[in-house]
A and B are shown apart, each in its own frame.
Chain A
Amino acid sequence: MSLRIVVTVKYVPDATGDRHFADDLTVDRDDVDGLLSELDEYAVEQALQIAENADDAEVTVLTVGPEDAKDALRKALSMGADKAVHVEDDDLHGTDAIGTSLVLAKAIEKAGYDVVISGMASTDGTMGIVPALVAERLGVPQVTLLSEIAVEDGKVTGRRDGDAASEQLEASLPAVVSVTDQSGEARYPSFKGIMAAKKKPVESWDLSDLDIEAEEVGLEGAYTKVESADARPARTAGTIVKDEGEGGKQLAAFLAGQKFI
Chain B
Amino acid sequence: MAEVLVYVDHVDGAVRKPTLEVLTLARRIGEPVAVALGAGAAATAATLAEHGAVKVLTNEAAELADYLVVPKVDALQAAYQQVSPAAVLLPTSADAKEIAARLALRIDSGIITDAVDVEAGADGPVATQSVFAASFTTRSVVAKGTPVITVKPNSAPVEAAPAAGAVEELSVTFSALATGTKVVSRTPRQSTGRPELTEAAIVVSGGRGVNGAENFGIIEALADELGAAVGASRAAVDAGWYPHTNQVGQTGKSVSPQLYIANGISGAIQHRAGMQTSKTIVAVNKDAEAPIFELADYGVVGDLFQVVPQLTEEIKARKA
The reply to whether the CB of A188 lies closer than 8 angstroms to some CB of chain B is no
**Closest 3 pairs between A and B when the two form their complex, measured CB to CB:** A248-B310, A243-B302, A223-B110
What is the predominant secondary structure among interface residues of chain A facing chain B?
A: mixed
A232-B137 contact in complex given A96-B110, A141-B181, C-beta closer than 8 Å: yes
Segment of B45-53, B55-63, B95-103, B165-173 in the binding face: B95-103
A249-B310 contact in complex given A19-B132, A165-B186, A260-B226, C-beta closer than 8 Å: yes
- Asked if residues B94 and A163 are in contact (CB atoms below 8 Å), the reply is yes
The reply to whether the CB of B69 lies closer than 8 angstroms to some CB of chain A is yes
In chain A between 67 and 118, which residues have their CB closer than 8 angstroms to a CB of chain B?
96-98, 101
The reply to whether the CB of B297 lies closer than 8 angstroms to some CB of chain A is yes
What size tier do the contact residues of chain A reach?
35 or more
The reply to whether the CB of A204 lies closer than 8 angstroms to some CB of chain B is no
- Asked if residues A16 and B111 are in contact (CB atoms below 8 Å), the reply is no
Task: List 10 A–B pairs whose Cβ atoms lie within 8 Å, in order of A's numbering.
Answer: A129-B101, A161-B245, A162-B95, A163-B94, A167-B184, A224-B110, A240-B298, A243-B301, A246-B310, A260-B202
Chain B residue numbers with a CB within 8 Å of A249 are 310-311, 314
The reply to whether the CB of A1 lies closer than 8 angstroms to some CB of chain B is no
In chain A between 240 and 261, which residues have their CB closer than 8 angstroms to a CB of chain B?
240-243, 245-252, 254-256, 258, 260-261
Chain A residue numbers with a CB within 8 Å of B217 are none
- Asked if residues A251 and B284 are in contact (CB atoms below 8 Å), the reply is yes
Return A219 CB to nearest CB of chain B, in Å.
Answer: 10
The reply to whether the CB of B2 lies closer than 8 angstroms to some CB of chain A is no
- Asked if residues B182 and A248 are in contact (CB atoms below 8 Å), the reply is no
A251: contacting residue among B11, B109, B189, B307, CB under 8 A: B307
Return A186 CB to nearest CB of chain B, in Å.
Answer: 13
A180 to B251, CA, bound (A): 8
Return B240 CB to nearest CB of chain A, in Å.
Answer: 12
- Asked if residues A129 and B251 are in contact (CB atoms below 8 Å), the reply is no
Segment of B22-30, B141-149, B154-162 in the binding face: B141-149
Which residue of chain B is the closest to A16 with respect to CB atoms?
A: B269
Chain B residue numbers with a CB within 8 Å of A143 are 68, 181
Return B5 CB to nearest CB of chain A, in Å.
Answer: 18
Chain A residue numbers with a CB within 8 Å of B143 are 222-225
The reply to whether the CB of B134 lies closer than 8 angstroms to some CB of chain A is yes
Known: A165-B188, A235-B295. 9 other contacts (CB 8 A): A127-B113, A127-B114, A142-B69, A145-B94, A167-B183, A171-B181, A228-B139, A248-B313, A251-B284
Return B72 CB to nearest CB of chain A, in Å.
Answer: 12
Chain A residue numbers with a CB within 8 Å of B259 are 255, 258, 260
A142-B318 contact in complex given A228-B138, A243-B300, A248-B311, C-beta closer than 8 Å: no
Q: Which residues of B contact A (CB under 8 A)?
A: 11, 68-70, 73, 93-95, 97-98, 100-102, 104-106, 109-114, 126, 130-145, 177, 180-189, 202, 226, 244-245, 250-251, 258-259, 269-270, 273, 280-282, 284, 288, 293-303, 306-315, 318-319
Return B297 CB to nearest CB of chain A, in Å.
Answer: 4
What is the predominant secondary structure among interface residues of chain B facing chain A?
A: mixed
The reply to whether the CB of A148 lies closer than 8 angstroms to some CB of chain B is no
- Asked if residues B282 and A181 are in contact (CB atoms below 8 Å), the reply is no
- Asked if residues B251 and A39 are in contact (CB atoms below 8 Å), the reply is yes
Which residue of chain A is the closest to B102 with respect to CB atoms?
A: A136
Return A61 CB to nearest CB of chain B, in Å.
Answer: 21
Return A241 CB to nearest CB of chain B, in Å.
Answer: 6
A161 to B267, CA, bound (A): 25
Chain B residue numbers with a CB within 8 Å of A243 are 300-303, 306-307
The reply to whether the CB of A132 lies closer than 8 angstroms to some CB of chain B is yes
A245 to B95, CA, bound (A): 47
- Asked if residues A239 and B102 are in contact (CB atoms below 8 Å), the reply is no
A223: contacting residue among B113, B145, B282, B297, CB under 8 A: B145
Chain A residue numbers with a CB within 8 Å of B319 are 261
- Asked if residues A15 and B270 are in contact (CB atoms below 8 Å), the reply is yes
Return A92 CB to nearest CB of chain B, in Å.
Answer: 17
